Amino acid sequence: MGRSTLDRTDGSSDLAGINTMRKYAVGAVLACVLAACGGTSTSHDVVVYRAGARAVVDHPGGTGITAAGISVPVSIDFRDLVTDVNVHPGETVHRGQLLLSLDRTPFAAQAQSLHSKQTLIQGEITNAQGRIAIAQAKGDTVQIAALNAQIVSYQGQYVILQQQIDIANGRPAQLSAPIDGAIGELKIAPGAFAAPGQILMTVIDTSHIQVTASLPIADRQFVGIGSPADISVTPSPGSTAPAQVLTGKVVQVAAGASGAGQFFQATVDAANTADHAVLPGLQAFVRVGVDHNSPVVVSKLAVLDTDSAPTVYVVDGSVVHSRTVELGISDGTYVEIVKGLSPGELCVIVGNQLLTDGTKVRVTQTVG
């Protein structure tokens, strides 16, 4: 899980205190050594952090494959011969540009079913428009953008169906681009028969890029529609182009878990570069920004044996006691304590390496 910096809206003074504390760490440790070796002091000088509530920014991440923000599949619902293909993958096309030619003979018998499917597509468009009205009332701009992209795809499919209806009514048996964009996948060749429902090609709009990634299930409760996210794109093998980082938001979150309950899926949408440099089909890493408000957070310096048995030393009067804790998320400076510590308790952050349970201490500074 990737980590980021903490939201420091109300914590800049704490960071300053910790930075100052680091400068005196060596002196404090030396003082502890002197005390242990029979110096004049009978207590260890320590610096402590007061556990308390804080907002931590977590960055759960996962990998996925880039896809076009809008994709319109081109298909027919019955077997037919493709007589010509007029485009190739990656080619830029404009609405109305010829894509492929077909044998028009089977179309005459399909007019009614084409009309029925067109009615279903129109129903999907109407449904999406209704959801947009609800999203507008809530001010949910992310949902509005995602629904508008769906509508563009539905409208493209509607256009392809209308072209087939026109073929059934005598127009030349040719399908043309339903939107401005580029050719994505191409799965048919001249002289081949298209199977019923087979996607022959896709026409894509790459002004936006989407990536669906698997994220740790522990972060599911914190990731929602509209959460800020980055897409880091890995260049294709052999490419000399620099790696691209796109900034976007989460537009879809899967309801259930995947990967034996260890992960969930989130889809991130981001505007492509001005020259549409990021193409579909590339590996990408997604990082989602999650603002997590925790009731108990301490400086990471307070936690010993982080990887095996996380422990903190808690000041109790003039002595310290070791306390086993359960850790939550961390941003590299602060760490959430899920179990084992209460708000307001003082945890040693300088001098704790030389302590044992019951050691007498003298607090020289408190931060947090």
The CATH number for 49's domain is 2.40.420.20
DSSP 204: E
Distances (CA, A) of 362 to 33, 35, 180, 306, 316: 14, 11, 72, 25, 11
At residue 218, the pLDDT reads: 79
Q: Residue 314 burial by CB count (10 A; 0-12/13-18/19+): exposed, middle or buried?
A: buried
The kind and range of the H/E element at 250 are: strand 244-258
Does one domain contain both 145 and 195? yes
For residues 183 and 206, what is the distance between their CA atoms, to the nearest angstrom? 10
Does one domain contain both 20 and 89? no
Does one domain contain both 21 and 122? no
The mean pLDDT value for 170-190 works out to: 95
For residues 150 and 79, what is the distance between their CA atoms, to the nearest angstrom? 27
| Distance from the first to the final alpha carbon of the chain | 26
For residues 342 and 345, what is the distance between their CA atoms, to the nearest angstrom? 6
CB contact at 8 A, 203 and 93:
yes
* Mean pLDDT for all residues in the chain: 87
For residues 323 and 188, what is the distance between their CA atoms, to the nearest angstrom? 66
In 3D, which of 185, 189, 167, 187 has the Cα closest to residue 176? 167
In 3D, which of 237, 233, 234 has the Cα closest to residue 245? 233
Tens of pLDDT along 31-84?
Answer: 444 444 444 458 899 999 999 999 887 788 999 999 999 999 999 999 999 999
Does one domain contain both 185 and 282? no
Q: What is the pTM of this model?
A: 0.68
The CATH number for 174's domain is 2.40.50.100
Does one domain contain both 129 and 167? yes
For residue 240, is pLDDT > 80?
Answer: no
Does one domain contain both 129 and 239? no
> Residue 224 is part of which domain span?
59-65+208-291
Q: Give the chain's length.
A: 368
Distances (CA, A) of 304 to 30, 117, 233: 19, 64, 36
At residue 144, the pLDDT reads: 93
At residue 34, the pLDDT reads: 44
At residue 36, the pLDDT reads: 46
Overall domain count for the chain:
3
Angle at the Cα of 176 (from 171 to 181), degrees rounded to 5? 165
For residue 9, is pLDDT > 80?
Answer: no
At residue 45, the pLDDT reads: 94
CB contact at 8 A, 319 and 359:
yes
At residue 122, the pLDDT reads: 96
Tens of pLDDT along 90-103?
Answer: 899 999 999 999 99
Does one domain contain both 193 and 109? yes
For residue 260, is pLDDT > 70?
Answer: yes
